[in-house]
Structure 1
Amino acid sequence: MKKTIIATALVLGIGTLAGCGTQSSDNTTKKDTTPKQETTAKATPNNEKQVLDWSYSGKTGPSNWGDIKPAYAISKTGKAQSPVKIDTTKTKKDAKITNITYKYQPTSFKLIRKDQMIQATAQPAKGRPDSTINVGGKDYTLKTINIHTPAEHQIDNKKMDAELQLVHTSKDNKTVIISVLVKSGAENKAIGDLTSVVANSTNNKEQTLKTTISTLGLIPTNDKHFTYQGSLTTPATTEGVTWFVYETPITMSTKQLDQLKSKLADNNRPTQPLNERVIYSN
């Protein structure tokens, strides 16, 4: 299935991805220089042994990420950090318009939860191409879906219940993240059993979803979106990431949202200063 959307092209300076919160800040080599996660004895809200050396509260919370280790320093010194608040009255329409073509397939995922960070990694399928998008003539492959409850990005100060961040990378390690906001409403069938797997997940243990995710079904039918240059939203919050944030949210049922919140509640980084950046709309 193919879906073409008119979107703003803003792909210059996109950074290298090594997964949300695990990307190296050195983009000069493809070698994985991901800092090793430090295990601590601190308990998570679910009374589990903490796996990561950062968290969403207390001494290792967002306001202190930049002090935990040198690799995270950009969290406090960076000028292009994510997420951000989007004021629709101040966005700028970009004269250079390009097509974003969705070449999405029903996709199988493996999921791992580390404390309050969740990452669903796309799995290749025999005889079926990967889910990809094309931006400005360059292909980007869908690698992971990251989930935050509540949403990290805000549009006109509206706080949504959740946010799906679809992370894509190109062959030259450029990164595009498509952000889909979520509000309470009708059950979301496209997401498959992801929410129930999250609810039953064990910290730092990988699981395979029983059903595929209808990735194209996660993209809002209303094409209005915003784009800007930002960063990953978990340490090391590496910059050089191009974001596309859809204005119209999709829905999940109360049950689905409760399943996510049971393990991921309040795993949202506060919005960051926009500084000199411009947010564009299509």
Structure 2
Amino acid sequence: MIKKKITMPLMAIAASSLLILGACGTTDSSSTDKNTDTSTKTTQTTKETTTKKDEKALLDWSYSGSTGPSDWGSIKPAYKISDTGKKQSPINIETKDAKADKTKASVAYKYQPTMFKVTRKDQTVQAVAQTAKGRADSKITVANKEYTLKEINIHTPSEHQLDGKKYDAELQLKHVSADNKTLIISVFVKEGDKNQAIGDMTSIIASSENGKTTTMKQAVSTLGLIPTDDKAFAYDGSLTTPATTEGVSWVVYEKPITMSKQQLSDLTKQLGDNNRPVQKLNDRQVSSN
């Protein structure tokens, strides 16, 4: 900015200042205070709104509007299976129709306390398991095939339903086998006692910045995330986010675990309603143990 030199005589400046002060004295102070208060509130509201709007979307899909679930299949060719697939997830599990088959729905666990790196992208969160020196990875065995725990994804409310019922949240523990097959363990969450097993993951998600990765300070007691009641359902499905790739084995536990009201609030603060609607079962058979 170019500063102009002031050449007005000092006496003239003083006189002008007195006139200005006199004019200010005639203003209604209560009106000024009200205007100031209103302006401050407006500024704060605008700032909050701007902050939310300034968070640039990282994904080309979302959970609402023109890029919501009903339009995923038309966003780009790689997502087309969202519309055309016959084995899409999530589903509503009708418990009375499940066929007993312990081979598919029974899981043997070799879980270890695990550290995770947490990344939020828009309304999704991906907690990636970290390998620890001197400690084995968390693994499971289903139908004689071994899978390694790779990540945890969280949805609020739950994506799967049991007899038409949704839960407050759903943890999806993604595992991959040596031959690159995917199996996801799904655990429902309802409000109740604080969940100690999940460590500081919920508070990290609450304060997460879009696109940023944070390393947890506490290890997740992974086995503590699995319900003590082992009743579960199994079926063949897909990923629940684009590209909703099929060929995914699902094991969905019947009994939920709990999280405190604060923990659930921490999740919904950033994730909101990030659940894909249930998909048609078509000719698939749901198994139970």
1:98/1:256 Cα in 2 relative to 1: closer, same or farther (>3 Å)? closer
Q: Which amino acid aligns with 2:273?
A: D
Structure with the bigger percentage of helix:
2
Counterpart among 76, 83, 88 of residue 83 in structure 2: 76
Identity %: 64
SS of 2:171's equivalent?
strand
Superposition RMSD in Å: 1.5
In structure 1, what is the Cα distance between the partners aligned to 2:59 and 2:271?
Answer: 14
| Alpha-carbon distance between aligned partners in 2 of 1:44 and 1:281, rounded to the nearest angstrom | 47
**CA 1:172–1:49: 2 relative to 1, 3 Å:** same
Alignment of 1:115-154 (within 5 A): 115-154=122-161
SS in 2 for 1:270: coil
Alpha-carbon distance in structure 1 between the residues aligned to 2:189 and 2:270: 17
Q: Residue 107 of structure 2 aligns to a residue in which SS?
A: strand
Give the match for residue 200 of structure 2. Answer: 193
- Compare relative contact order (CA 8 Å, sep 6+) and give the higher one, 1 or 2: 1
TM-score (norm 2): 0.81
The TM-score normalised by the length of structure 1 is: 0.83
Q: Which runs of 4+ in 1 moved over 4 A?
A: 43-47, 95-99
CA distance in 1, matches of 2:251, 2:137: 20
1:247 to 245, 251, 254: 254
- Tell me the equivalent position of 1:27: none
Gaps of 5+ in 2: 1-49
CA contact (8 A) 2:107 2:142 kept: yes
1:118-175 deviation per Cα after TM superposition (whole angstroms, max 9, x unaligned): 0000000010000000122221000000000000000011110000000000111001
* 1:50 is the counterpart of 2:57: yes
Q: Does the Cα contact within 8 Å between 1:44 and 1:115 map onto a contact in 2?
A: no
Q: Which runs of 5+ in 1 are unaligned?
A: 1-42
- Determine which of 188, 191, 213 is the counterpart of 1:184: 191
Distance apart, 1:96 and its partner CA = 4.8
Counterpart among 153, 165, 168 of residue 158 in structure 1: 165
Q: Larger radius of gyration, structure 1 or 2?
A: 2
Equivalent in the alignment of 1:267: 274
Partners of 1:105 and 1:124 in 2: how far apart? 11
Count of residue pairs the alignment pairs up: 240
Question: SS of the counterpart of 1:59?
Answer: helix
